[in-house]
Amino acid sequence: MTSRTLAVVSAGLGQPSSTRLLADQLAAAARDELAGRGATVELRVVELREHAHDVVNHLLTGFPPAALRRTLDEVAAADGLIAVTPIFNASYNGLFKSFFDVVDRDALAGKPVLLGATGGTARHSLALEHAVRPMFTYLRAATLPTAVFAAPEDWAGDDGDSALRSRIRRAGAELAEQVDRRPPATGPADPFALTTDFADLLAGRDPS
C-alpha cells in the first residue's frame, strides 16, 4: 500500500473560517478517493494565520523562522497540494500571496494543486481563474481543471447533495487521480548542494 501526503493550505483569517471548512472538505474528498485507490493518506494542514508573523519576518529577513521552515518543507515534500484562499479585492488575500512568495522556487513544479476559494458573493468566483490559477501556473504547478468556489449561498440550505458537494467530490477525485499516477514526491531540493565543480566554473560552463 502506497503512502501519500497532501498539504492543505488555508489562508482563512476568521476562526472558525469558511475557507478552512472548504479546505477540509476538499481534503476529505481527495483522501477518500485516494484511499479507494489503495493508498494511505496523511494530511498536513497549514493554517497560514498561525504563520502570519513568520511569513512577514521571512519577507523582511530573507530566511524563515524554524517553525515556518518545517511548514515550507512539508509543502515542498507533499505529493499534492490543496490551496484555499478567501477572495479579497477580486484576488487572493495578502497572506496567501505572501506565503507562496516565500515558498522555495521550484517547490511546486509539477505538483498537482487543487485550488479553492471562498467569497462574500458568487460574483467573485472567477477570481480563481484570473488571479489564483495564473500564480500557480507561474510556479509551474499542475493545477487541476476543477477549482472550487464557495459563496454564502453554497453553504446555506445544504441538502446533503448540493452543487458545492458534487464539485468538491469531482475536484477531490481529480487531485487523487493526478497524485495516484505520479511517483512519490522527493521532497525539497537542497539549496546548499554543490552541483558543479571548479573546473566547470572556471571554464564558464553552466552546470544547469
Residue 8, beta-bridge partner list: 45, 82
Rounded Cα distance, 70 and 64, in Å: 9
208 near another protein, judged by CB under 8 A: no
Min dist CB 104 to another protein, Å, is: 12
**In the range 24-83, which residues lie near another protein by CB under 8 A?**
56-57, 60-63, 65-66
Site mask for another protein (CB under 8 A), range 146-185, x = bound: ----------------------------------------
Q: Which is nearer to another protein, 145 or 191 (CB)?
A: 191
Residues in the interface with another protein (CB under 8 A) total 19
198 near another protein, judged by CB under 8 A: yes
* Residue type for position 84: V
> C-alpha cell of 78?
507533499
Min dist CB 197 to another protein, Å, is: 7
Selection from 92, 107, 87, 5 nearest residue 46 by Cα: 5
